[in-house]
Amino acid sequence: MFPANHTSYIRALYKNILAEGSLFFDDRSRIYIRDRARLTFKEYKSCTDIERIKNKIKEARKKLHRIEQANRGKQKSAYKILLEVYGRRGKVRHSLLYPYLHQFKPEDFKLPEPFVPHVPHTAPPPPLCPPLCALITQHLGKRLEPELPVPAFKPLHPGRKANLLWKHRSMLLDRVQVPLPFETLCELETKAGAAANHPVSLAVLGRGGPRWDEFYYVYERNPNITHLSPHLTAFVPQSRLARSQTVADIRSPYSAPSKPSVLDYLEQDELKDKKGPKLLPFSQRYDERQKRRLYRRLLSEIPCITMFTGNTLWNQGTNYRISKSNWAVKGVTQVLMDVPSAEVIDSTLNKNKRKKK
């Protein structure tokens, strides 16, 4: 069923993902790449669907190419990896959003009744918890409910009304960004250049996101967010060796056949002369300044919220404040909001003003 070199190619692809992932500069990203690679390859180890295998190989090669580009100094690829690892997209984002929707509900929580009795598909979406409502209205800048059309000659059909409400809710949940655990946010600020016990850091201000032990303790073994746990003790050490041969040098068994050329035979002769793949010393592609800039850019995508716990998630009447880290990259309008008072400006201008002779 499978080609003769199927097993060797999958093994080479897996080893290259682990090898390239161990070269990435972020410690939690190295854990995430290792765990996701192990889980995905183990999940599809016994799969017999060729089309499914082809799609997964294509996805794995795409991920590997992104990691290779990031390790070679391409900051755009490195930033995309950080976005996925820290829950701004993909499975990590869904896992961080899950407790806001399905956990810590009060005992008297009830689903809304359908618009038409005994017709379940006409039921509107359930209410959202107050912190998620604050993130949607303040950070995302969207309304919780859409503006429904008003027909001229007849009332809006209950089924269409429910569909419009669910469509708007799906759009909100696809776009809203939830904060990271408090401990992870403080760690990101430190990586972005924040000094210990700085007066405007999140650790001193006491805001940013829910603490891990008070909100995400139920998902301690979730493979999608395990790398964000503050209780990790065994980190993946950053490798100092880079392989000279990558999986790009090996032809995929499922790729379309190409026309033979003289270059192919010359490359095969060169490979025969080589004794095997060499290990080259790893050279750091990012200095400390570039790392800080990447982390600051990442912090601009992460909202900070007033602290809450799982027990207070559904408490009504709390005024949640949404903000961003003081180490996040700010635009011109946000920088101008931090202009000092008029007295400070006048005193500064008077001191710098030259006296007329």
For residue 2, the model assigns a pLDDT of 79
pLDDT tens string 310-325? 999 999 989 999 999 9
Q: Indicate the average pLDDT of the chain.
A: 86
- Is pLDDT at 277 greater than 60 in this prediction? no
pLDDT tens string 97-127? 999 999 999 999 999 999 999 999 999 999 9
pLDDT tens string 135-153? 999 999 999 999 999 988 8
Domain-wise residue ranges, the chain: 1-86, 101-175
CB distance 294 to 75 below 8 Å? yes
Assign residue 299 a region: left if phi > 0, alpha if psi is -120 to 50, beta otherwise? Answer: alpha
For residue 221, the model assigns a pLDDT of 84
Phi, psi at 88, each rounded to 5°: -95, -10
Q: Measured between alpha carbons, how far is residue 212 from residues 99, 102, 186, 289 in Å?
A: 12, 17, 12, 29
Kindly state the percentage of the chain with pLDDT values over 70. Answer: 82
pLDDT tens string 228-272? 999 988 788 888 776 655 665 566 777 776 666 655 655 555 555
pLDDT tens string 52-88? 999 999 999 999 999 999 998 999 999 999 999 999 9
Lowest mean pLDDT among 197-211, 266-280, 329-343: 266-280
Burial class (CB in 10 A: 0-12, 13-18, 19+), 102: exposed
Q: How far apart are CA 166 and CA 256, in angstroms?
A: 43
pLDDT tens string 161-209? 999 999 999 999 999 999 999 999 999 999 999 888 888 889 999 889 9
Average pLDDT over residues 213-225: 88
DSSP string, 208-226: BS--IIIIIGGGTT-TTTG
Q: pTM score, two decimals?
A: 0.84
Higher model confidence: residue 174 or residue 340? 174
**Any idea of the CA torsion for 122, 128, 132, 136, to the nearest 10 degrees?**
40
Q: How far apart are CA 139 and CA 306, in angstroms?
A: 13
For residue 7, the model assigns a pLDDT of 87
If pLDDT is split at 50, 70 and 90, which confidence band does 345 have?
A: low
Higher model confidence: residue 310 or residue 221? 310
- Is pLDDT at 347 greater than 90 in this prediction? no
Q: How far apart are CA 310 and CA 312, in angstroms?
A: 6
